[in-house]
Amino acid sequence: MNRDKTKSKLVKLMQAAYSGELAAALAYGGHWRSLKLASEIEAIKQIEEDEWKHRERVGEILDELGVGPSPWRERIFFLIGSTIAVICRFCGHFCAAYFAGILEKGNVNEYNLAHQYATELEMTHLLESFREMEKTEAEHEVVLFKMVENHGFLPYFRYFFKWGDASDFLIEE
Ligand SMILES: [Fe+2]
Ligand SMILES: [Fe+2]
């Protein structure tokens, strides 16, 4: 793949990540407000904080790439995040954590792909940030899995949505 194509893929990926982090942070803001258990509230508050930090870092990377956020993505993902924040209040403890877990898996893959593009572009100074964010997203995924792992709905959701297999998280133990 030529350099320009890879760079344009990285730009699109970073614009998607920038707005995705906004939606995630807003959604987690609603998520922790819907919880009752103090330890879970703290865990999700921490995740919200991590997502704001990711957004800040991705914003710096966009600056470096010489592009701004995508205005339409910003509007749509603001709406998505705010809507999920409200849905969390009604969706219930299991469902909010389960679907957040699926999204976190997507984020892990997103930063892994960004790492590959940055490697191809020889932008080695970005590699550490991408690995760091990938690792944090993987940790988020584990936190969310632990919130649902003993729930009776999990086997059914796992069957339909293909997320939540304990063997995927064994490395964290
Ligand atoms: Fe994130
Ligand atoms: Fe995350």
The domain ranges of the chain are 3-172
3-172: CATH topology is: Ferritin (1.20.1260)
How far is 71 from 19, CA to CA, in rounded Å?
A: 9
Q: Which ligand is closest to the CA of 139, given by its number? A: 2
Q: Please tell me the distance from the alpha carbon of residue 134 to that of residue 95, in angstroms, as a whole number.
A: 23
* CA gap 11, 82 in Å, rounded: 25
**Paired tokens of 8:** 């344009």
Task: Reply yes or no on whether the pLDDT at 171 is more than 70.
Answer: no
Range with lowest mean pLDDT among 40-44, 87-91, 137-141, 143-147: 87-91
Lowest-pLDDT range, 23-27, 53-57, 92-96, 154-158?
Answer: 92-96
- Residue 137 Cα to ligand 1 middle (Å): 6
pLDDT in tens, 12-67: 999 999 999 999 999 999 999 999 999 999 999 999 999 999 999 999 999 999 99
Largest CA distance in the chain: 51
Whose atoms come closest to the Cα of 21: which ligand?
1
What residues have a C-beta under 5 A from ligand 1, the ion?
21, 51, 54
- Centre of ligand 2 from the C-alpha of residue 80, in Å: 16
Residue 168: pLDDT band with limits 50, 70, 90: confident
Centre of ligand 2 from the C-alpha of residue 136, in Å:
7
Burial of 169 (0-12, 13-18, 19+ CB in 10 A): middle
**In the predicted structure, residue 92 carries a pLDDT above the cut 90:** no
End-to-end CA distance of the chain: 38
Cα separation, 164 vs 56, in Å, equals 29
| pLDDT tens-digit readout, 3-21 | 999 999 999 999 999 999 9
Closest ligand to Cα 56: 1
**Rounded distance from Cα 145 to ligand 1 centre (Å):** 16
Q: Which ligand is nearest to the CA of 142?
A: 2
Give residue 53 CA to ligand 1 midpoint distance, Å.
8
